[in-house]
Amino acid sequence: MPAYRPQDLEKKWQDHWQQHNTFRADNDSSKPKYYVLDMFPYPSGAGLHVGHPLGYIASDIVARYQRLQGRNVLHPMGFDSFGLPAEQYAIQTGQHPAVTTEKNIETYIRQLQQLGFSYDWEREVRTSDPDYYKWTQWIFLKLFNSWYNLDTDRAEHIRTLQEKFAENGSAGIRAAGEADDRHDFSAGQWQSFTEKQKLAAILPYRLAYQQDTYVNWCAALGTVLSNDEVKDGLSERGGYPVERRLMPQWNLRITAYADRLLQGLNTLDWPDAVKEMQRNWIGKSIGAEVTFPVQGHENTDIKVYTTRVDTIYGATFLVLAPEHELVDQLTTPAQRADVDEYIAATKRRSERDRMSDVKHVSGVFTGAYAANPVDGTPVPIWLADYVLAGYGTGAVMAVPSGDQRDYLFAKHFDLPIPAISDAQKDLDQQADPTKEGRYINSGIVNGLTYKEATAKLIAFLEEKGLGKGKVNFRLRDAIFGRQRYWGEPIPIYYKDGTAYGVAEADLPLVLPEIDEYKPTEHGEPPLGRAKGWKYKGQYEFELSTMPGWAGSSWYYLRYMDPHNADRFVSEEAEQYWGQVDLYMGGAEHATGHLLYSRFWYLFLKDLGLVTHSEPFQKLINQGMILGRSSTIYLLPYLWSMWVGFETTTKVPETISLPTVYISKGVLDRARKGQQSAADKAAIEAVMHQAFNEWGVESSIPFSTETVPLEYEDAAWFNVDISIVKDDLLDLERFKKSRSDYNTAYYITEPDGSFICGNEIEKMSKSKYNVVTPDELVDKYGADALRLYEMFLGPLEQFKPWNTNGISGVATFLKRFWRLFHPEDGSLAVTDEAPTPAELKTLHRVIQKVAHDIEKFSFNTSVSTFMIAVNELTALGTHKRAILEPMVILLSPFAPHLAEELWEELGHKSGSISHAAYPEFREEFLVEANVTYPVAINGKVRDQRQFAATATAAEIETAILESDFLSRFGEGKAAKKVVVVPGRMVNVVV
């Protein structure tokens, strides 16, 4: 038999699995089910790097292990294939996004298959496939045709709302959403409404509705961006300016489910950090809504929501969001210019930047005043960008003595900061939000405690019609429209300016072909370019498309029944597979995908289309594999810019000086003042050579006095790690990589080497630190890569990548192979009976691997395998009774090698996935004998071996009858013998 060559046998088994659909999951099985899911990948053009498969390997180990446990395992894969990157590439090249996406998916599938993942590829789905997004559109229509009834605490079809309107008008209806957006009408008025008027009355109740909403608008990209896609006022992709703009947008009323989303977290086996992120994002608070009448503006009020109504007497100013609808009305002529300037500046900042910036105080006075509702005191109205129009009411009751941000604002603009409690301290230095003590300077609540004051103030405000107690959520409705091409068309058309849903029978509404993928000349989304694209040939379609998270909010359900043309998932398939048993993915999706998926699932639950309360019962966040970046340093010297400094020699302004790179070792020693004579000589030699060859030596004679070297300010940039080994740069390859590198100058170490700096950070193409799985699979094999990624450390932790370490795992696999093929010869497995030592090693592995996989502790399983192979090699083990179970145990981790050996052992090709996990028998771990340390007066003098079943009395007798006392007792008699079973013996003399 030839030596172990993973590249040959791995391709053999990958082809076998694909041809025989080895991992097909059956929707009609008597076996218990297990659904293990990987988060939907977006197929980027870069393909996978070694950090991406970490979670996939872990989930695949679990999937293979669960099959060995006799379960029917659903382990699918598909692609979140709509997205902005493909669209931007289309805009730049004119190539249809579908072409780019298809090519990228082919790369992903090839890479995933070469790693041996046990996916049921027959269930693959892609969000950009019309057969898939037909059902995304169908779910949207269900949302569009539903409202949330607070009395039943569930979504209902819009017809139940219409029935209520017909019976009693709008009176008494308790629906999720803002009551201020709706109009009151009687049953008679409803009956007299035209169709258009009825639809306008219904719109503010729908779970999918259109409303003017502040969004992140990027003119260069021609689209709305999510907060995650904006950083420091620029688009994350391309770095283009982004501004806040009020635009008509489709929204989904996720706020209707806020409390249920919050309560459901208590039932989930998720990381605490993820659950806490969702709790904070939902942000439930109990407080009061308070109305501040605006002075000089009749019937104009400002509503604020506060969790500290007890502090209302300390409200010395109001702060509005710059986008607040009343700003234009309230701004006085004297303040108009300042307000307009401030608003313009705010538009250039994202919501995230505005909320997170606590270092800088900014604001502008509108010139208007409101009246404090409890005592009528005038309260100045300011604008500040830390208040957001889309959160709460877009207005804040500022109490500087109790809130640090308000305190800093008041200090900056010299506004009053009165104390409101006798327990507040150090108000000359900072705010004090204490709820202790009793109130002062607080009118009707003077002398009361926090609870007493809160209750009295809410009662007073409700009595006067100026406020009410209210539960609020930080969560906002989800903006659902994107002004892009490469996304699901929203199935809405317009008749006389009113939105209608496309008939379900007309789905899917397929993306039309267009000539270019950018907005029209009139600023419409790219779909505005579609020629003759109208519903029924006469009605205009909605031109926005759905966001990327639409298709990924329900894909796990489609995997259950991916080819069903009549239903998004059959009742039978959904009831059989139920919840996802294990979901593997990144924590970065906590407040995006994971929250939206739960929202969609709860909605489908209300419609009776799914059977559980939550989609994903267990979630594991795999950590990140970090790359090792290499950096090269530029020697900084004061003449490295265009020359024009005052010197004794006039230097032409057209001269620039040569680029000089310095080895990290030389640089470090220079920074520490530990330069050797060799270092100084090397630096001077290179600098003189550079200045001479550059033709500037005559103008700028080099010396450290005329051209000072600024070692502390050395600039650096990343270099490709493929030309760096152990921090040593391959200078010749580096010089050949770019022409300007070849003409630069290099200060090396005394031995001629060039050392790079290094940093452990996220793998990224921009850092040139990406390691692709392809090159490692070619060299070491997929099984070695799978084992090595698991061996790096605990699954949830961040781990640095070091390619050198994979060779050790590859060596382990060769040693495992040689248990079957000594000296890489022919199969040498025998049917001899195993020894107790061999059985002990085997059953320790059976027990440990099962425990580790159940606890997702894969790195310790790999260690266990390595120890076991060392022990079996030392024992000269080649016995079927030991090696056959060992192959099964290793198969989830190294499936290709396991399949090959399983076949060689005489089993049907490709059948190891259907084998049974070996039975653990504890008796094989029981020691026959125990070695006891034997001490005299606590000092160990000898060791004796006894049967594991020996009693304390038997051990005592044996010690006293032995030569122990004669050898170590110095002639003294034993007073007593203390036996600690299984641990030690102590003779007291």
Tens-place pLDDT, residues 399-441: 999 999 999 999 999 999 999 999 999 999 999 999 999 999 9
CATH superfamily label, 18-128+551-621: HUPs (3.40.50.620)
Which pLDDT score is estimated for 398?
96
Q: Which residues pair with 213 in a beta bridge?
A: 247
Closest by CA to 727, choosing from 628, 626, 625, 627, is 628
DSSP 613: S
**Nearest CA among 80, 200, 114 for reference residue 896:** 114
- Give the dihedral sign, CA 202/208/214/218: negative
At 383, list the tokens.
């604008």
Four-residue CA torsion sign, 491, 493, 498, 500: negative
Highest mean pLDDT: which range of 554-568, 692-706, 940-954, 971-985: 554-568
Question: Can you give the C-alpha Rg of the chain in angstroms?
Answer: 36
**What is the residue-wise DSSP string for 702-717?**
--TTTS-B-GGG-EEE
The pLDDT value recorded for residue 252 is 97
Token digits for 265? 């977290």
User: Cα separation of 42 and 134, whole Å?
Assistant: 20
Per-residue pLDDT at 294 = 96
The CATH 1.10.730.10 portion of the chain extends over: 773-924
Of 525, 453, 534, 458, nearest in space to 500 by CA: 534
Domain 773-924 in CATH 1.10.630.10? The answer is no
CA distance 973 to 860: 50
Q: Indicate the pLDDT class of residue 650, thresholds 50, 70 and 90.
A: very low
Q: What span, in angstroms and rounded, lies between the C-alpha atoms of 23 and 123?
A: 11
How many Cβ atoms from other residues are within 10 Å of residue 912's Cβ?
Answer: 26
List the structure tokens of 754.
């060039």
Cα distances (Å, whole numbers) of residue 662 to 319, 679, 682, 729: 54, 11, 10, 12
Task: State the amino acid at position 395 in one-letter form.
Answer: A
Q: Which CATH number fits domain 929-988: 3.10.20.590, 3.40.50.920, 3.40.50.12160, 3.90.1150.10?
A: 3.10.20.590
CATH 3.10.20.590 domain range(s) in the chain = 929-988
Q: Where are the beta strands (DSSP E) in 550-672?
A: 582-585, 619-621, 625-634, 660-662
The pLDDT score that the predictor gives to residue 181 is: 83
Contact 58, 859 (CB under 8 A): no
pLDDT, position 241: 85
Query: Kind of pairing, strands 984-988 and 976-980?
Result: antiparallel
Assign residue 938 a region (left: φ > 0; alpha: ψ between -120 and 50; beta: otherwise): left
Domain 284-473: CATH architecture, name and number where available = Alpha-Beta Complex (3.90)
Distance of alpha carbon 641 from alpha carbon 726, whole angstroms? 33
Residue 765, marked binder = yes
Least confident stretch, 44-48, 443-447, 826-830, 951-955: 44-48
Tell me the β-bridge partners of 170. none
Provide CATH 3.90.740.10 ranges for the chain. Answer: 284-473
Q: Which helix (H) or strand (E) holds 336?
A: helix 336-346
Query: 395 with 315: CB under 8 angstroms?
Result: no
Residue 488 gets which letter from DSSP? P
Distances, alpha carbon 47 to alpha carbons 38, 103, 412, in Å: 17, 10, 51
Q: How confident is the model over 854-896, as pLDDT tens digits? A: 999 999 999 999 999 999 999 999 999 999 999 999 999 999 9
Q: Are 950 and 974 in contact (CB under 8 A)?
A: no
Question: H helices of 757-835, where?
Answer: 773-780, 782-791, 806-820
What number is the average pLDDT over the span 89-102? 90
pLDDT at res. 636:
78
Give the model's confidence band at 347: pLDDT under 50 very low, under 70 low, under 90 confident, else very high.
confident
Q: Where are the beta strands (DSSP E) in 709-751?
A: 715-719, 724-725, 728-729, 745-747
pTM: 0.85
Cα–Cα distance measured from residue 957 to residue 695, given in angstroms and rounded to the nearest whole number: 98
Q: Give the integer Cα–Cα distance in Å for 614 and 620.
A: 16
- Residues of the chain within CATH 3.40.50.620 domain(s) are 18-128+551-621
In terms of pLDDT, which residue wins out, 380 or 520? 380
Residue 808, pLDDT score: 94
What proportions of the chain, in percent to the nearest 5, are helix, strand and coil? 40, 20, 40
- pLDDT reported for residue 895: 98
Q: How far does the chain reach from its first CA to its final CA, in angstroms?
A: 65
pLDDT in tens, 799-846: 999 888 999 999 999 999 999 999 888 999 999 999 999 999 999 999
Cα-Cα-Cα-Cα dihedral of 162, 163, 167, 173, to 10°?
A: -60
Gap between the Cα atoms of 133 and 302, Å rounded: 43
Cα 721 to Cα 772: distance, rounded to the nearest angstrom: 12
